[in-house]
Structure 1
Amino acid sequence: MSHRSTFARGGFAPVLCIAVGALVFAGCTDNSTDESSSSGASATVQINVVRVDEIAQTVPEKIRAAKKLVVGVNVPYAPNEYKDDSGKIVGFDVDLMNAVAQVLDVTPVYTESDFDKIIPAIQAGTYDMGMSSFTDSKEREQTVDFTTYFNAGVQWAQQTGKPVDPNNACGKRVAVQSTTVEDTDDVPTKSAACLAAGKPPIDKVKFDRQDDATTALVLGKVDAMSADSPVTAYGIKQSGGKIEPAGEVFDSAPYGWPVAKGSPLAEVLKLAVQHLIDDGTYQKIAENWGVQNGTIQQSVVNGAVN
């Protein structure tokens, strides 16, 4: 299974940087580049979405009265959620949540948090929900409920023309973002298989930020990277041909928005997402960010596969 884990972020992040907008691999990026000005990548899409009365009327009273939805988010994790040059939080997740909020006739209030603190804050009532590329897992469903909105897997990348087999990367240096499941499960499992076969282990290189992991690959500091499929696709697009996919997407699982266990908000969000799926808005948003390969046809509450 892929995607961000519940563990605290940490570890050493080497200072490796990319000037993405100019596609010159020197200087720095903080993953906050305005996509409208960088290598033709997608910008936030402007879509007119109107309130849907029969769904808006089901919003929990506290949220409906406040007319706002407090959303815990951790950035950067482009293209799902990150900051543009003005410091505004943007991305695929953001555009979709903005559309959901319009259906519900509430204002989303994006509140930055450490990733591992979002679910506890939801449990404490500080946030109404989380939005940070969470994988809906059986383990997490023990503490919160999820509304699914996307399907993502693990996708490795390599330097262009320098093939790496994810299933036989023994002895290779592989970049991951700290505390993602690529860090805690994917690469360690593959490395253990190498050792069991009498081969050298994978040299896992951890970064606090995904953009630093991608930059390390672009600069040849590592042989490959492992990340969520939409994140890898975005990194490849931004690299200007410097990196490419290594193998196929695997271990697909749903992304979901966590809410308090037993909260009616989960069902409300499901109805709003389904409305956007059915009227084509959801697909338009996904295509704008280049993540249409992970779109779903039906949103569910607690759709974990593992």
Structure 2
Amino acid sequence: MVLAVATGCVSNTEATVPPGDPIRAEKVDEIAAQLPESIAASGQIKVGSNPPYAPNEFKDDDGNIVGYAVELLNAIGDVLGVTMNISESDFDRIIPAVQSGTFDMGSSSFTDTKEREKSVDFVTYFSAGVQWAQRVGDDVDPNNACGLRVAVQTTTTEDIDEIPAKSEACVAAGKPPIDKVKYDSQDEATNALILGRVDALSADSPVTAYAIERSEGRLEPAGEVFDAAPYGFVVAKDSPLGPVLQQAVQELIDSGVYAQIAERWGMEDGMIDTAQINAAPS
């Protein structure tokens, strides 16, 4: 992350991409043969993604979408013998675009939840929790944040589920609600905390850890990681692409390529042993 010292802001750039070449995989014909006919014929899978949400997906200095999930996607493409055609989209438009067929799949750090499973299917590839951050020296308790201003990226799990539930509990206890401050990107939420515009931020644990690591000592964790749940690649409900992706992810796990990619991006803590379809705990 390049730090603009004059303003105290941060932005994700090529400098945050690990050195060395991306990890690639070999094609597995028996899995590739199961691809839907239209995808096999086109030789590509159309993917919707929403950067910046480093280290999972963000842009380098040349405007390319990169990150841990992107490298994993490209390795899946290797297994299937197709190109992953990744396009930028607003986060809240990706699932509708997958449902309509504009995208074949979505990859944007989607938490697999029972509510979302009503609309789409998920192929799991990682386990992440929720982690809050604060400015160094502050004393923020995520379980007692009534009346605080908390930054979130819009339409994330933290925006839709976590902060509203905590705020409702505050009101029920006769305390002031949490002032949820929504930002279009995680960069903006992080910058707001650094600049003192909010008291804390809430994001998925690898994203918060990444922001803290690149804040030059200005941010630190607030509380422990909680509510672990799987990330999943999104496909249309009952799409034949889902089982193919699940097999491709499992192939990467079994071959060791998955672990190599996770290690390259510092994402070992959330590694899984088995890729599943629709594994939401709640």
TM range (shorter): over 0.9
Instruction: Name the counterpart of 1:184.
Output: 160
In 2, the alpha carbon distance for the partners of 1:183 and 1:202 equals 12
Q: Which letter does structure 1 place at the counterpart of 2:190?
A: T
Q: How far off its partner does 1:92 sit? A: 0.9
1:111 to 81, 87, 91: 87
Report SS of the residue matched to 1:188: helix
Deviation track 1:58-81 (CA, whole Å, cap 9, x = no partner) reads 222211121111111122221111
1:60-209 → structure 2 map (5 Å cutoff):
60-209=36-185
Aligned twin of 1:6:
none
Q: Does the 8 Å contact 1:45/1:288 carry over to 2?
A: no
What CA deviation, in whole Å up to 9, does each residue of 1:80-112 have, x standing for no partner?
A: 111111010001110000000001110110122
Between 77-86 and 196-205, report the one with greater CA deviation.
196-205
Partner of residue 54 from structure 1, selected from 19, 22, 30: 30
Conserved 8 A contact 1:71-1:111: yes
Deviation, 1:249, is: 1.1
Aligned length: 282
* 8 Å CA contact retained: 1:131, 1:258: yes
Mapped to 1, the partners of 2:75 and 2:213 lie a distance apart of: 25
Q: Structure 1's 185 and 262: CA in aligned 2 closer, same or farther, altered over 3 A?
A: closer
Q: Check conservation: 1:43, 1:289, Cα contact below 8 A.
A: no
> Structure 2 unaligned runs (5+)?
none
Q: CA deviation at 1:125?
A: 1.9
- TM-score between the two structures when normalised by the length of structure 1: 0.86
Cα RMSD (Å):
1.9
- In structure 2, the CA distance between the partners of 1:116 and 1:215, relative to structure 1 (3 Å rule), is same
1:298 shift after superposition: 0.4
Letter in 2 for 1:34: E
Match of 2:203 among 208, 218, 227: 227
- Which residue is 2:219 aligned to? 243
Counterpart CA distance in 2 for 1:23 and 1:293 is 29
Distance in 2 of aligned mates of 1:22 and 1:77: 16
What's the offset of the Cα at 1:43?
5.2
Matched, 1:26 2:38: no
Counterparts of 2:218 and 2:4, CA distance in 1: 10
- The residue number in structure 1 matching 2:280 is 304
Amino acid at match of 2:187: D
Matched, 1:35 2:10: no
Identity of aligned residues (%): 61
> Does the C-alpha gap of structure 1 residues 112 and 228 become closer, same or farther in structure 2, counting only changes over 3 Å?
same
